[in-house]
Structure 1
Amino acid sequence: MIGHGSKSALSPRQDFGRKPFVAGPGFCFKRFGRTETKLPDGRIVYIGGQQGNFFDSDYFIYNDVVVVRGHSDGRARAQAKLEAFLAQVPDLPIALDEHNKRVAMAHWLNEATAVEGASPDEIDIYGYPTDVFPAVDFHTATYHKHQDTGKEYIYIIGGLGYKGGPHRRATLTHRLSLEDFSIQRMETMGEEPPPCRGRTARREGDEIVLVVQGDQYVLSLTNMRWTRAPE
Structure 2
Amino acid sequence: MDNKVWEWLIRSRKSAYHATQALSDPGSSNEGPTWCFDRMGQTATELPDGRTIYIGGEHEDDYDPDFYIYNDVIVIHPGESVEIYGYPEHIFPPTDFHTSTLIDNTIVIIGSLGYREKRSIGDTQVYLLDLASFEIQEVKTTGTSPGWIHQHTAMLTDNRESIKIAKGILYLGENRSLIENIDDWKLNLRDWRWERLTERKWTRWELKRRDHGPNHLWNVRQALFDRNMNWEDTYKESIKRLTIEIGKEPDLDLINVLYSPDVPHSQMPQQEYNVFRISVDGVIVRYVEDLYSVQVTVEGNLPEDVIEKIKSDVLEKFSLLENSTCDLEMI
Query: TM > 0.5 between the two?
Result: yes
- Alignment deviations for residues 176-227 of structure 1 (CA, whole Å, 9 cap, x no partner): 0001000000110111112132211011112111113331111111110110
Q: How does 1:42-81 map to 2 (within 5 A)?
A: 42-71=50-79
**Alpha-carbon distance in 2 for matches of 1:69, 1:34:** 18
Provide the aligned C-alpha RMSD in A: 1.5
**Alpha-carbon distance in 1 for matches of 2:48, 2:23:** 39
The question of 1:15 aligning with 2:22 is answered: yes
- Alignment deviations for residues 19-42 of structure 1 (CA, whole Å, 9 cap, x no partner): 334331121000011111111221
For 1:181, the equivalent position in structure 2 comes to 134
The question of 1:220 aligning with 2:188 is answered: yes
Q: How does 1:108-187 map to 2 (within 5 A)?
A: 118=80, 122-145=81-104, 152-166=105-119, 170-187=123-140
**Alpha-carbon distance in 2 for matches of 1:65, 1:157:** 15
The question of 1:208 aligning with 2:163 is answered: yes
C-alpha contact 1:161 1:167 (8 A) present in aligned 2 = no
Moved more, 194-203 or 60-69: 194-203
SS at structure 2 position matched to 1:12: helix
Q: Unaligned 5+ residue runs, structure 2?
A: 1-8, 168-180, 200-331
The structure-2 alpha-carbon separation of the partners of 1:168 and 1:23, relative to structure 1 and needing over 3 Å to count, comes to farther
SS at structure 1 position matched to 2:116: coil
Q: Which amino acid aligns with 2:63?
A: F
**Alpha-carbon distance in 2 for matches of 1:169, 1:223:** 19
C-alpha contact 2:53 2:76 (8 A) present in aligned 1 = yes
- Alignment deviations for residues 93-122 of structure 1 (CA, whole Å, 9 cap, x no partner): xxxxxxxxxxxxxxxxxxxxxxxxx3xxx1
**Alpha-carbon distance in 1 for matches of 2:136, 2:119:** 16
C-alpha contact 1:190 1:225 (8 A) present in aligned 2 = yes
The structure-2 alpha-carbon separation of the partners of 1:129 and 1:67, relative to structure 1 and needing over 3 Å to count, comes to same
The structure-2 alpha-carbon separation of the partners of 1:182 and 1:197, relative to structure 1 and needing over 3 Å to count, comes to same
**Alpha-carbon distance in 2 for matches of 1:190, 1:47:** 26
For 2:36, the equivalent position in structure 1 comes to 28
**Alpha-carbon distance in 1 for matches of 2:122, 2:193:** 19
**Alpha-carbon distance in 1 for matches of 2:12, 2:44:** 16
For 1:40, the equivalent position in structure 2 comes to 48
Q: Which amino acid aligns with 2:164?
A: V
SS at structure 1 position matched to 2:108: strand
**Alpha-carbon distance in 2 for matches of 1:163, 1:180:** 31
C-alpha contact 2:69 2:96 (8 A) present in aligned 1 = yes
Corresponding residue to 2:144 among 191, 195, 203:
191
Q: Which runs of 4+ in 1 moved over 4 A?
A: none
User: TM-score under structure 2 normalisation?
Assistant: 0.51
Q: CA deviation at 1:168?
A: 5.6
The structure-2 alpha-carbon separation of the partners of 1:44 and 1:25, relative to structure 1 and needing over 3 Å to count, comes to same
| Count of residue pairs the alignment pairs up | 175
SS at structure 2 position matched to 1:22: helix
Larger radius of gyration: 2
For 1:104, the equivalent position in structure 2 comes to none
C-alpha contact 2:122 2:145 (8 A) present in aligned 1 = no
Q: Unaligned 5+ residue runs, structure 1?
A: 72-117, 146-151
User: TM-score under structure 1 normalisation?
Assistant: 0.72
Moved more, 33-42 or 124-133: 33-42
Identity across the alignment (%):
39
The structure-2 alpha-carbon separation of the partners of 1:185 and 1:219, relative to structure 1 and needing over 3 Å to count, comes to same
